[in-house]
Every structure is written in structure tokens, then in C-alpha cells.
A and B are shown apart, each in its own frame.
Chain A
């Protein structure tokens, strides 16, 4: 019983973090038509940011709040310098962001070395789950992820800004003809997407190995989540992330990570074959 509960909690943790990362990626793609191959690196930068802030004496919770903002600000700079130059050129945006990914990884190696770091989790104790301890920090990460996902949805569906963003996703040219400042929206979107990934990285820093390739393990699952869930909606990555994340962590726990990879890819192939536009888009059309 305890084993099942722990498994469920750990899976939920993995799923929520994956959704957080996928959401940022989907928003960037939906609004800007940019495939951000460096998205995993934003997560990695968030982790390194939290780590470095901790090293210079910043209290953990403050570092956790600051690191995503720093990554978001960095995203703003990258958008202006790099992404804006590839406007309307999808292949070029893939090349440019892939180059950025390589650059960021090597830059981190130059500054911090190629090895991995460990970040100490804050001492918030453990709760008893069916007779055994479960770290409170993991529960807090889940709560934080839920809050960030909820915040993103609130912005998209309850604010005028979110309305403009949804219009741009649906029909960028028409939204522009109505006076929506698509340049400003692009900047804010990219920074926000980067910030979400940075938050995932900063929150997960005590739970993972902080090394230059920390982001790579999230990029492919995030893309798969978006494909499964469907492009053009922000519920897509939630559905896709839940499916891919759950399948991955459960198969990993019951069999092995290798089987998990296999299972995920086979499942994704099957879903895309049967629902080419993704699950959410298909459900909507049938409604």
C-alpha cells in the first residue's frame, strides 16, 4: 500500500513538472510558431541559477523565486537578439534554437565545469505516508507546479492579455489587424515560457543532478506531450504531459527506464496515428 502511494506521488511529481515544461514550450510554439530546441536548457539554467544563488548565500526560498525571473529576463534578451530574427522562418528557428542549446550547454561547462552539482533540499521534514516517511519538499514542488500551471491558465482565460494571446494563436494576422501588438506579445510569451521552464529547473534542483545536460531529459518528453495533446491549445500539453509523464514514470518503476522509453514512443506513435491533431483538438471537434 505504501509502495503504491509513494509511486503515485513520485509519478505525480514527474507529471506536474513535465506539464510545466511542456506548457512553456507549447505557448512559445502556439503564439510565435517557434520550435524552441533550447527549452530544456532554460530548465537547466533555472537549476544552475538556484544552485549559484544558494552558493552566494541567498536563502533557498528566495533563490527559488529569483531563479525563474532571471531565466525569464534571459529569455527576453534571447528573444530580441535571436528569435525575433527568425520570424516566420520555422526551419531557421529550429536551427537557431538548437545552436543556442549547444551554446548554453558549453557556456555552463566553461563557467561551472562539466561535472554535476548537488543542491541541498531545504529542511522541511517528512510526512508519514502509510507508515513510512515521504519528503515534504517533494509535496511542495507539486503544489508549486500546480500553482504555476493554474496561474498560467488564469492569465490565458481570465485576462485581456490572455484573450489577445489566444487570438494570436488562432489567427496571428487577423489579431494584428485588430491592433494586437504582436511584437510585444512575442517578447512576453518567450520570457514567460522560459520562466516556466526555469521554475521547473529551480524547483527540481534539489531532486536531480545539476549538470549541463540536465535539460535534455525533458526536451523530448515535452515535445511528445505536445504532439499527443495537440497544438493550438493550452489544454493540450496538460493532457499530453499527464499521459506521457504517467506512462513514463509508471513503466520506469514497474519495469525499467529502457522499457519506459519504448512504451512512451510506441504509445505516442499510436496516438498520433489515430488522432493526428492530438487528443484535445479531436475531442473539441467532436463536441
Chain B
């Protein structure tokens, strides 16, 4: 589904991703772990087209998407819930959801997935709690029925009970739709509940891969990537 091939990219001429390679099959869920600054968010932005890679290629279901505009990549089937949510604070919950798919007649599917949003459909999104905003960001990304979902730090600033709700909803939808999932997450427990594979990132490269079952049995496998 997703093939990232030796991608180099960064901000303003600096190099953050330094030959990053990654492959995701359709329906596969992978977590990226690593210290701050190693390039996880940069990778997400590069896949989404917000940053143009200086070399390497990115393909979605066999078609090249590097160098295309973000809206084209979104329409090709990539959903994105960025770090910090980036919901439209002045717009209502319903408007935020409809923006995920402007051709949609209703947002009912999103409300089924996250009932907390249904109760607040006319509330300006800026008034929601952190957890509700995260649910909104994810539901919005799912509106257009993407084939690949990029989730950047979804548990950040969200209380544990809501994290559990999000995990349950995501698990359900990923299984239902056969959605491929690329997750950046510091919360290892949350990641374990969702993914089948962990990729360790260091200095702009993917340096190791571990199956989720191996990490569950021995979490110290990730220590190398997370230690200072």
C-alpha cells in the first residue's frame, strides 16, 4: 500500500530524513517510535506532501505521490490526523467533519464511531476537550474513506479513559475497512493495542523492526530507540 524508498527531506535545506525506507501492506498497522527530532513527524508531512523530498520516492498502491500537492495525495486515499490535531477551532464539529469529505451528505458515520461528537455537533470545535478534539481529528480524517491513515501522537494531551475509547474505535474501523495505519506514538501500550509491527527510527532512518508480539514480551527492545 505504501512504499517509502530512501527518502531524504527536511526543512529549509536542512536534512531530517536521511534515506528513510519503509513498506506497508494494505491493512497493515505499523508504529514508528523514536526520540524527539528523529524525523517521525517529518516523515508524515513528507508523505502528505507538505514537504517535498529532495530525493527518493513515495508510492501509494503503486502510484508515485512524492512531489504531488497535499490535496491530490489526500484525494488519492491518505487520511492525516497531525500532531496537535489542527482542528478548525472556529468551525462547528459538524463543519469540521464535513470538511473531511465535502461531497458527503451527512457525518452520521463519524457520529456512530464517536458518539461523544454527536452530542456536540454544533459546538465550535475550539471548545472541545483535548480528547474530544482528537476524536474529531481522527473522525475527520476518516470521512473520505482513506486507504492509509497517518496518525501523529494521538494520545498526546488526552486522558487515559478517552485514549481507551479511541483505541477501541480505531481498532474497530481498521478491521472493518482494511485500513492501513501508520502511527507515531510515545504511548507504547496504545501502540501495542493497534499495530502488528514496530519500526525504530533514529537519525532520519528506519534502523530496526520488531513484531508487536516481540515488543509485548520484551519492551526493552524499544529502549535503544527511546533512550537518550
Among B69, B102, B144, which residue has the most Cβ atoms of chain A within 10 A?
Answer: B102
* B197 on the A face (CB < 8 A): no
Out of B48, B90, B102, B141, name the residue touching A180 (CB < 8 Å): B102
**Contacts A174-B82, A177-B48, A177-B80; A163 near B102 (Cβ below 8 A):** yes
Q: Measured between alpha carbons, how far is A183 from B70 in the docked complex, in Å?
A: 11
Given the known inter-chain contacts A166-B91, A170-B90, please indicate yes or no for A177 contacting B102, CB distance below 8 A: no
Q: Which bracket fits the contact residues of B?
A: 20 to 34
CB neighbours of A175 from chain B (8 A)? 99
Give every chain A residue within 8 A of B74 (Cβ-Cβ).
Answer: 176-179
At the interface, yes or no: B189 with Cβ under 8 Å from chain A? Answer: no
Contact flag A174-B69 (CB < 8 Å), given A160-B102, A167-B91: no
| Least distance between B136 CB and chain A CB atoms (Å) | 12
Taking a contact as CB atoms under 8 Å apart, the answer to whether B102 and A164 are in contact is yes
Which 8 interchain pairs have the tightest Cβ spacing?
A: A179-B74, A176-B70, A174-B86, A176-B71, A177-B80, A160-B102, A179-B75, A170-B88
B140 interface residue (CB < 8 Å to A): yes
Is residue A80 contacting chain B, with contact meaning CB distance below 8 A?
no
The answer to whether A178 and B91 touch across the interface, beta carbons within 8 angstroms, is no
A163 contacts across to B, CB distance below 8 A: 91, 95, 98-99, 102
For the A-B complex, the count of residue pairs with Cβ-Cβ distances under 8 Å equals: 63
Q: How many residues of A contact B (CB 8 A)?
A: 18
Is the CB–CB distance between A177 and B99 below 8 Å? no
Give chain A nearest CB distance to B125 CB in angstroms. 10
Name A179's closest neighbour in chain B (CB-CB): B74
Please, how many angstroms separate the alpha-carbon atoms of A173 and B89 in the complex?
15
Pick from A164, A177, A182: contact of B82, CB below 8 A.
Answer: A177
Interface residues of A (CB under 8 A from B): 160, 163-164, 166-167, 170-171, 173-183
Which of A174, A179, A182, A183: most chain B Cβ within 10 A? A179
Find out whether the CB atom of B71 lies under 8 angstroms from the CB atom of A180: yes
Contact of A160 among B70, B91, B98, B144 (CB under 8 A): B98
Residues of B within 8 A of A178 (CB): 71, 74, 99-100, 140-141, 144
Q: List 11 A-B contacts (CB under 8 A).
A: A167-B88, A170-B88, A170-B91, A171-B88, A173-B70, A177-B50, A177-B80, A179-B100, A179-B101, A179-B144, A183-B69
Question: How far apart sit A231 and B74, CA to CA, in the bound complex (Å)?
Answer: 28
Q: What are the residues of chain A within 8 A of B91 when measuring CB–CB?
A: 163, 166-167, 170
| Residues of the A chain whose Cβ atoms lie less than 8 Å from the Cβ of B95 | 163
Q: Which of A166, A170, A176, A177 has the most CB of B within 10 A?
A: A177
Please give the distance in Å from B13's CB to the nearest CB on chain A: 16
Smallest CB–CB gap between A103 and chain B, Å? 30
CB neighbours (8 Å) of A171 from chain B are 86, 88
Those of B78-113 within 8 Å (CB) of chain A: 80, 82, 86, 88-91, 95, 98-102
**Cα distance, A166 to B75, chains bound together (Å):** 20
Nearest Cβ in chain B — how far from A15, in angstroms?
27
Write the nearest CB–CB distance from B47 to chain A, whole angstroms: 11
Expressed in whole angstroms, the Cα–Cα distance for A177 and B71 within the complex equals: 5
Query: A167 contacts B99, CB within 8 Å?
Result: yes
**What residues on A are CB-neighbors of B100 within 8 Å?**
178-179
Determine the distance from Cα of A182 to Cα of B90 in the docked complex, in whole angstroms: 20
A25 CB → nearest B CB, Å = 21
Name which residue of chain A comes closest to B98, CB basis: A163
Whole-angstrom distance from the CB of B141 to the nearest CB of chain A? 8
Which single residue of chain B is at the shortest CB-CB distance from A232?
A: B90
Across the two chains, which residue of chain A brings its CB closest to B74?
Answer: A179
Given A174-B86, A176-B70, A179-B74, are A164 and B99 neighbors across the interface (CB < 8 Å)?
yes
Contact flags (1/0) for B56-81 with A, using CB distance below 8 Å?
Answer: 00000000000001110011000010
- B88 and A176 within 8 A (CB): no
Taking the closest CB of chain A, its distance from the CB of B56, in whole angstroms, is: 21
